[in-house]
Amino acid sequence: MVRRTKEEALATREKILDAAEWCFMAAGVSGTTIALIAAKAHCTRGAVYWHFRKPADLFRAVADRGRSRLADRLETVLWSPSQVIHALRGCLQAYWKDIQENIHVRNTLEIELLWCDYARPDFYQFRVEQIHEQNQVMNLLRRIFERAAALGELREDVSPAVCAALVGFALPGALRASFMQPSADKYKQIAEAQAVIDAVLSHLACNEQ
């Protein structure tokens, strides 16, 4: 009986997360209420509060479930013995694939890019974390392109810092543009965003990788 109760509690928590994720995208994070989430999850508001003490805790759980940290992936590229740009392209392709195939990853990115008001006092920490992660990604990209330049893989007329900025700014821009399209074919839109980044990398490499 205890085990069943624990499993039921976990199932309810997952339903609440699914409902919150849907509500964040439909009404925006600021427009989502506990009552709306409870109605979508077919549970009571008390059940929501039992699992999550405050809205920020709920947002944190949704974001953690759909987190696909690009910085962790880029760390592996940094130590590639050769063909660094080729390794970077493979890393980003895996990242895009994860976004396409994992609905929670895709929805979390869309919520963070389009539907979250970081000006809310209780969401200040999330803004700080977003800035920290962005800085991590930009720093890793710069170091990756510095390594590519040292190996003779980068065009001589562009600096590693400029390359990092091009890729680092193009990534969220391409994602944001794809998420803003009204079409339901997110897979196609994200594939088009991936093609943009591939084109940028091909332009930066001194030879086709």
For position 175, which CATH number holds?
Answer: 1.10.357.10
The pLDDT, as a whole number, for residue 149 is 95
Same domain for 24 and 120, yes or no, is: no
66: CB partners within 8 A, 6+ apart: 21, 102, 104, 105, 106, 107, 108, 109
Q: How many domains does the chain have?
A: 2
The pLDDT, as a whole number, for residue 108 is 95
Is residue 64 pLDDT above 50, yes or no?
A: yes
Is residue 3 pLDDT above 60, yes or no?
A: no
β-bridge partners, 205 = 154
Predicted TM-score (pTM) above 0.85 = yes
Is residue 111 pLDDT above 90, yes or no?
A: yes
Residues 154, 161: Cα–Cα separation, whole Å: 12
pLDDT in tens, 95-108: 988 988 899 999 99
155 found inside a domain: yes
The pLDDT, as a whole number, for residue 159 is 95
Same domain for 52 and 73, yes or no, is: no
Same domain for 89 and 187, yes or no, is: yes
Is residue 110 pLDDT above 90, yes or no?
A: yes
Q: What is the mean pLDDT of residues 73-87?
A: 91
- Average pLDDT of every residue of the chain: 90
The pLDDT, as a whole number, for residue 4 is 55
Q: Containing domain of residue 42, as a range?
A: 2-64
pLDDT in tens, 148-193: 999 999 998 999 999 999 999 989 988 888 888 766 677 777 788 8
The pLDDT, as a whole number, for residue 69 is 87
The pLDDT, as a whole number, for residue 180 is 83
29: CB partners within 8 A, 6+ apart: 59, 111, 115, 116, 117, 123
Same domain for 57 and 150, yes or no, is: no
Name the percent of the chain lying above pLDDT 70: 95
209 found inside a domain: no
The pLDDT, as a whole number, for residue 113 is 92
Is residue 53 pLDDT above 70, yes or no?
A: yes
The CATH number assigned to the domain holding 46 equals 1.10.10.60
Same domain for 29 and 122, yes or no, is: no
N- to C-terminal Cα distance for the chain?
58
Same domain for 58 and 146, yes or no, is: no
